[in-house]
A and B are shown apart, each in its own frame.
Chain A
């Protein structure tokens, strides 16, 4: 930082991301409250611990290799050349944005007076990782072992979502170049993949005891503490503001970045380094939330659980293009996503006997998938990047956003990187006998012994005389 403007820009950006991390922490607080509120009393404490322990499990692995994957994999490898070194290999050379700087032994993975951004950017992405793992966590409550969930959380949080982020959420990602993929606020790169992954796990894990009658009719196991669920979802909404902020670069001069001689254009940008405004995305965030709530209240006939979840689904569905949509477009897209997701949830539950305890596959997976597909039509023809514009499948330039590319992108997110890995890992864990808790433990409740101990402790205290 050699001049005042440079110092101000750097310190502002550092502080901006730092604040987003604090805000995004509320997403995890919200997920914990939401899941505990949705679980039955006899499973409360295990449900809470399962979701809490993903914090250290994903954080440590994100430090060891997750962050490295994001910077190494934009080329595939082997699919499209990097714009930095024109190679299709993993980006591990000495270029500025290479993965070689993001290994645990690197001196910028620590306090370094020459770098003010890496740690806060690492943390912002880490909080996305927690979110991805938390989405899976809610769907599988009350019958998965904490061990199995830990493995699955690391897989989605530190491996698969970071591969999709490298492919479709990095300024150099091959999906932008080949397909014209655009996903500004992560309809696909967080939500569709995590929803797909959860569905893959659920297919192997099976339903909770009692969820389906002997004739196969689904029974509703509603939230046991609706107020905790309510506060949890409000906190997730709140944290989502931080998520949206963290998906932007707050201040950037695009003229030199795009190689435009003599032109200076300071703006906020999205993750792809193309212009947007924090003001504009604020319109869209609130209008898509409103669209989701309106549609959810109508389709679920005023059911609070689904109405709140639909607010979230509305935002998720519009998120792919919320950097460019008109607010009314955002609202309508949010509504469409909610109606389809809600219907799909009950169709899949009934047809395939899938027990998604909190509707996570619908709210995140289906809404995210639908959001990507709609984005391909509404933003058809917009550039996927500012660096260049070229033909689809070319790979050396960036294809424009288009319906086919976005549909293929949705397939990659939901199925290729989500459902299939989730299914395979769950199958392996099942084969090892480590996936599901014993039937007797599920019936008694995971917290049975803790509750017994608490009861005897209380008796002892109650009968004490000194």
Chain B
């Protein structure tokens, strides 16, 4: 997966090759990485939305009054 294995050999290549990408998997893994990023992105929204809904439902079920939060302020 390493794109460069020896810097001296790499810099001795023709200029147009030296000027290319050097990250692992360059030229072969970009599509897979983008698909992974999209899956993570969508998954994050699904998971956090569910977590937020659960929390809000829990809070709503307790039917707090508008001044209840004042008794929750941390003791210094």
Contact = CB atoms under 8 A, between A and B. Distances in A.
Interface of A: 40-42, 222, 224, 254-255, 258-260, 263, 265, 274-275, 294, 297-298, 301-302, 324-326, 328-329, 331-332, 335, 378-383, 385-386, 388-389, 400-401
B15 to A, nearest CB: 9
A386 B7 contact: yes
Contact of B36 (A328, A378, A379, A380): A328
Interface string B23-51: 11110011001101100100010011001
Contacts of A259: 8
25 contacts: A224-B74, A254-B11, A259-B8, A260-B8, A260-B11, A260-B12, A265-B18, A274-B7, A275-B11, A298-B48, A324-B24, A326-B30, A328-B33, A335-B40, A379-B24, A380-B2, A381-B1, A382-B3, A382-B4, A382-B24, A383-B6, A386-B8, A389-B5, A389-B6, A401-B2
Contacts of B6: 383, 389
B17 interface: no
Contacts of A335: 40
Contacts, number: 89
A380 B5 CA distance: 9
A379 B8 contact: no
B55 interface: yes
Interface residues of B, number: 31
B52 interface: yes
Nearest to B55: A301
Interface of B: 1-8, 11-12, 18, 22-26, 29-30, 33-34, 36-37, 40, 44, 47-48, 51-52, 55, 74, 76
Contacts of B44: 294, 298
A274 B9 CA distance: 13
B24 A378 contact: yes
A109 B48 CA distance: 54
A388 B9 CA distance: 10
A326 B44 CA distance: 21
Nearest to A40: B76
Contacts of A325: 23-24
A258 B7 contact: yes
A265 B4 contact: no
Contact of A383 (B5, B12, B23, B37): B5
Nearest to A283: B23
A41 B24 contact: no
Given A224-B74, A298-B48, A329 B7 contact: no
Given A255-B11, A260-B11, A400-B5, A302 B36 contact: no
Given A298-B44, A383-B7, 5 more contacts: A224-B76, A258-B8, A294-B44, A301-B51, A382-B3
A274 B30 CA distance: 24
